[in-house]
């Protein structure tokens, strides 16, 4: 007689990082798409950050992530997606290696007004061979560049997805996450093909 365990199976967990420069919308993206109230480590920006954090282009920003943001999306009973928003300031980058451990992929959020703030995140994921998509956060609905113009400005590989988005909107954030999943699938298939397993 075959016995059936009554213990429920744990779902497969997938991890995606949400990264990018200071003030680009990482906390907002996690909050817009998470099915649960996200864990946020936001603190008020004080005079202690003067000369330490670059507020150019985000002068109205009043708070910042000091550790990480965390959210969850249940895709099915068997599959759960965990989102980890990284801090954007250089002084918190020591946490990135730990946060990236086991990540399926990443989103690099970009702001066309400050594209140079994206380079460090892109370099981080490229150097670790972590698939990623670039989400161009169109603040206040402004689309100041096309996806192809951003691709060229950031010198991205043609296979790297670039998605224009508004991270305040759930559906828009989901579109960026789907692009990451597609990039991860394509990378896995390429590796299998290179090893002769596909």
Q: Give residue 50's pLDDT.
A: 52
User: Distance between CA atoms of 38 and 4, rounded to whole angstroms?
Assistant: 36
Structure tokens at 192: 């299998």
128-167 tens-digit pLDDT: 999 999 999 997 767 788 999 999 999 999 999 999 999 9
Q: What is the pTM of this model?
A: 0.80
Structure tokens at 65: 């992530």
64-73 tens-digit pLDDT: 554 568 899 9
Q: How many CA atoms lie within 13 A of 124 on its CB side?
A: 27
Q: Element (H or E) spanning 98, and its range?
A: helix 96-100
Q: Give residue 11's pLDDT.
A: 76
34-53 tens-digit pLDDT: 998 776 655 565 565 555 55
Structure tokens at 126: 């490229």
């Amino acid at each position: 007689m075959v016995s059936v365990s009554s213990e429920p199976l744990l779902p497969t967990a997938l991890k995606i990082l949400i990264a990018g420069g200071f003030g680009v919308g990482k906390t907002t993206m996690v909050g817009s798409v998470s099915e649960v109230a996200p864990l946020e480590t936001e603190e008020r920006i004080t005079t202690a950050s003067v000369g330490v954090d670059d507020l150019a282009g985000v002068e109205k920003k009043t708070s910042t992530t000091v550790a990480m943001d965390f959210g969850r999306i249940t895709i099915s009973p068997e599959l759960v997606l965990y989102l980890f928003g990284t801090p954007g300031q250089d002084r918190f980058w020591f946490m990135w290696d730990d946060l990236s451990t086991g990540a399926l992929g990443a989103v690099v959020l970009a702001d066309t007004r400050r594209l140079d703030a994206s380079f460090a995140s892109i370099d981080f994921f490229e150097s670790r061979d972590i698939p990623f998509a670039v989400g161009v956060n169109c603040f206040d609905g402004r689309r100041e560049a096309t996806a192809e113009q951003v691709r060229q400005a950031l010198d991205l590989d043609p296979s790297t997805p670039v998605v224009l988005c508004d991270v305040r909107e759930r559906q828009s954030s989901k579109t960026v996450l789907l692009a990451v999943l597609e990039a991860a699938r394509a990378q896995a298939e390429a590796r299998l093909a290179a090893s002769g397993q596909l």
